[in-house]
Amino acid sequence: MADRDFYRILGVARTASQDEIQRAYRKLAREHHPDVNADPGAEDRFKDISEAYNVLSDPQTRRRYDAFGPDFRQVPEDVDPETWRRAGAGARTRAGAGAGPAGGTRFAYGGRAEDIDLDDLFGGLFGGRSARGWGPVPGADQSAEIELTVQEAYRGGERPMTIGSGSSQRRLDVTIPPGVIDGQRIRLAGQGGRGSDGARSGDLFLVVNIRPDRTFRLDGRDIHVELRLAPWEAALGTSVAVPTPDGEAKVTVPAGTSSGKRLRLRGRGMPNPRGLPGDLYADARIMVPPRPTDAERELFEQLASTSGFDPRSGH
């Protein structure tokens, strides 16, 4: 990745909240997803966005990234961030670098050259492990996207998927918990990058992308559906079936319902394993016959001549 600043990749400040990070990811993921963006660089850009979100959306991982930078995965857990920063500042040259007489490296500090043995410097930091021999290094966490339909996200279940390419391609059977929402991560422990010298493998985080649906519109855990009504149904009231990801449900339409009125079915939205489920909202939309018959036209004309209702004044 050319740009390793994950905050800059997502276009957020370093002080951004978790909600701001999630909103930025969703916007960029939809814009750069290879299925909707034909630009040849869209796929690489999408991978960068996913990795940035994978790191910054986890508070613990974000703290290590803030402390050690994009190579935080290679820094042992017991290293103090302030010690790491001092060591890095001491090793950087302001005026140039060259080989020292004792096999070390010569760095210039404000015009004064010093010989520093990097093995001694980093060996002190890592308990005797030199820069040439880091010892066991845990595998890196990795991220990938998993695209789901609304129904798959609602019901959960087993889902096979293939990640990687070429010789590194792998097939996994993923368990999707019921009620996952857009942007949520599914953690597969030990399925990330391999560790070296017997160290543990990293984790694989699958970022959920819920495919846009013609019937259902998601807002967090709430589900919205369009409820089409004939004028007489809206005026007189009725009971009609509305679709849900788990089958049909009945909704009672009160008399005098206008377009835009929102009817709520409590608890019929996306499930929530850790709390209350979302709600399902049926948004009323009044439809008229596009080509009324002679009888229908006559009835509408009678209504127009006898009704005193003025829709523009509401009376």
Same domain for 258 and 230: yes
Query: Could you tell me if residue 53 is inside a domain?
Result: no
- Domain identity same for 198 and 223: no
Asked whether residue 193 is assigned to any structural domain, the reply reads yes
- Distances in Å between the Cα of 203 and the Cα atoms of 61, 159, 216, 278 are 12, 18, 32, 30
Residues 230 and 260 in one domain: yes
Q: Which domain holds residue 234?
A: 217-306
Distance CA 89, CA 92 (A): 5
Q: How far apart are CA 270 and CA 155, in angstroms?
A: 9
Question: Widest CA span of the chain, in angstroms?
Answer: 105
Residue range 304-310: mean pLDDT, rounded = 88
180-212 tens-digit pLDDT: 998 888 998 888 877 777 778 888 889 999 999
**Residues β-bridged to residue 218:** 223
Answer yes or no: do 298 and 242 share one domain: yes
Q: Are residues 302 and 222 in the same domain?
A: yes
Which of 58-62, 78-82, 284-288, 310-314 is predicted most confidently?
A: 284-288
> pLDDT band at 14, cuts 50/70/90?
very high
123-150 pLDDT, tens per residue? 444 444 444 445 677 777 888 889 999 9
Q: Report the C-alpha gap between 304 and 302 in whole angstroms.
A: 5
Burial (CB < 10 A; 0-12, 13-18, 19+), residue 11, is: middle
Alpha-carbon span 8 to 14, nearest angstrom: 9
165 is a domain residue: yes
**Whole-model pTM?**
0.57
Instruction: Give domain status of residue 260, yes or no.
Output: yes
Report if residue 313 sits inside a domain.
Answer: no
Total number of domains in the chain: 3
154 plus 194 within the same structural domain = yes
Helix (H) or strand (E) segment spanning residue 40: none
Residue 73 has a pLDDT of 78
Q: What is the pLDDT of residue 147?
A: 92
Q: What is the pLDDT of residues 219-275, one digit of tens each?
A: 989 999 999 999 999 999 999 999 999 999 999 999 999 999 999 999 999 999 888
Final residue in a domain of this structure, among 91, 106, 125: 125
List % helix, strand, coil for the chain (3-state, nearest 5).
30, 25, 45
Taking only the tens place, the pLDDT of each residue in 62-108 is: 888 888 888 787 777 666 676 666 666 555 544 344 444 444 444 44
- CATH number of the domain within which 294 lies: 2.60.260.20
